[in-house]
Amino acid sequence: MRRFEAIAVPHMDAAFNLARWLTRNEHDAEDVVQEAYLRAFKFIDGYRGGDARAWILTIVRRSCFTWLARNRPFELIAIADDDAEERFAATPDTETPDPETELLRRLDESTLNELIEALPPLFREIVILREIEELSYKEIAEILEVPIGTVMSRLARARQRLQESWRRHPVARIG
């Protein structure tokens, strides 16, 4: 109990934030976090020291994906983890009359949150973990259970996808 409190309780906000972004609603996020925490509590002996936040977030993330598979299977389209797509292609900046930074200035808070929500879960979670939770590549690799190279390429693709979705957004286009 004491050990569990020390390990898991400080990261409850991070856990809830991840679950809230992946389930996209408060109620389901609460259920998923509760279930994940009870599992973590049961398997606390499996925690062998190290990064407590990464450990608990790994469990929360697995619960989130189980929930997604059950409730939002259509969201879980596979994304290929090679960096073919993210390779530097001539970015459309040059063709856009607006420089990118000018365009970005028009991006308000709620639109940004909508755009992130619209990303596929594998892209969404990596943006959340890096940009909001400010985790290192190493921690993200641990939570996603993939090599660091995959974290880097997936993050690059997620960012590219997010930025493209803004360029295509009606507000950005009308300006």
Partner 1 sequence: MQCSEARRLIGARIDGELDAAGEAALAAHLADCAECARHLVEQQEWHAAIKRNAARYTAPDALRQRLAAAVADAERPPSTPSRSRAGEWRQWAIAASVLLAVVLSSSLTAYVTRPNADDRLVQELVSDHVRSLMADHLTDVASSDQHTVKPWFHGRLDLAPPVDDLAAEGFPLVGGRLDYVEQRPVAALVYRHAEHPINVFVLPNRGGPAAASQSLSQRGFNLLHWTRGDLAFWAVSDLNLAELRDFQRLFDRNMAAAG
* Residue 171 makes contact with partner 1 by CB under 8 A: no
Closest listed residue to residue 147, CA positions, set 86, 88, 81, 85: 81
From the DSSP assignment, how many helices (H) and strands (E) are in the chain? 10, 0
**Which pair of structure tokens corresponds to residue 74?**
């259509």
Q: Which of 62, 136, 146, 167 is the binder for partner 1 (CB under 8 A)?
A: 136
* Residue 116 makes contact with partner 1 by CB under 8 A: yes
For tokens 């803004």, the residue is 166
Closest listed residue to residue 28, CA positions, set 5, 59, 60: 60
Contact 41, 4 (CB under 8 A): yes
Closest listed residue to residue 20, CA positions, set 71, 61, 59, 78: 61
Q: Which of 30, 51, 75, 98 is the binder for partner 1 (CB under 8 A)?
A: 30
Contact set for partner 1, span 74-113 (CB under 8 A): 83, 86-88, 91, 93, 100-101, 104, 107-109, 112-113
Total binding residues for partner 1 by CB under 8 A?
A: 51
Query: Site residues (CB under 8 A) for partner 1?
Result: 1-2, 4-6, 9-10, 12-13, 15-17, 20-21, 26, 29-30, 33-34, 37-38, 41-42, 83, 86-88, 91, 93, 100-101, 104, 107-109, 112-113, 116, 127-128, 130-132, 136-137, 152, 155-156, 159, 162-163
